[in-house]
Amino acid sequence: MKHLIFLWLLVLLPCQFAGAHHVLGRPTYSLNEDSNTPPSMQVETQIGAYFVSYMAFPAFPKPNEAGRVSVYATRLDDGTPFEGEITFSVRDDGWLDNWHPSRKEVLGVQRPNDNTHRQGFIFKEEGDYIITAEFEAGGEPYLIDFPLRIGEPLSVGPLGIAVGVIAAILIGVNLVQKKRLPRAEKRSGRAGA
C-alpha cells in the first residue's frame, strides 16, 4: 500500500498548475481603458505642497487603441483634493527630444471628476513618450512628468546596445592585433637573418 501511494505521488509530482487567462471572469483580450484592469504604471510622489498619484490604463497600451491617464492630487497639510484644472501634454521620450520643447503636444485640459483628473489618449505609433500633467496652485506652478510606453518594448534596450558596441570594439581590436602579429614576426625574422 505504501508503494502505491509513493508511486501515485511520483506521478502527480511533474503535473503543473493550469492557470486561467481571465480577469474577473472575463477574457483579458476584451478589456479596454474603461475596464477595471491594473494600470501599466502607478506612481505616487510628493511635489511642493501636494501628494500626487498618477496611473496609466490599460496595462499594455497599444497603438490606435484608447487609453487613459488619471491624476489624483491632495494637499499634504490637510488632505483636500486639488479642484482646479490640469493640463495634460505629451512629447517623445528621446534624448534629443528633451532639447526641443516645441515638440510638445497638448492632449487636453481636465477638471476633476470624483476628485480625479482623467485624460484619454490614442497614439498612432509605437514608442516611448513623456506625459506631463501641469497645474497651478497658490501661485506656484506644478509639473509632473512620467514615461509611457506604447506598444511592445524594444527587445534590445540601451544596455544591450552598449554591450553590443563594446563587443564590436573588442572584436575589432582583436582583429587588428592578429594582423599586426604576423607583420611583427616577419620583421623580427628578417632582422635576425
The residues pairing with 54 across neighbouring beta strands, listed in sequence order, are 43, 71
pLDDT 10s digits, 85-100: 999 999 887 665 555 5
**How wide is the angle at C-alpha 124 spanned by C-alphas 91 and 44, nearest 5°?**
45
Calpha distance 76→18 (Å, rounded): 46
pLDDT 10s digits, 2-59: 666 666 665 655 555 444 444 444 444 444 545 556 666 678 889 899 999 988 888 7
Which fold would CATH assign to domain 26-150? Immunoglobulin-like (2.60.40)
Q: Using 50, 70 and 90 to split pLDDT, how confident is the model at 135?
A: very high
Nearest in space to 84 (alpha carbons), one of 61, 111, 106: 111
What residues does each domain of the chain span? 26-150, 155-193
Evaluate whether 110 touches 118 at the Cβ level (below 8 Å).
yes
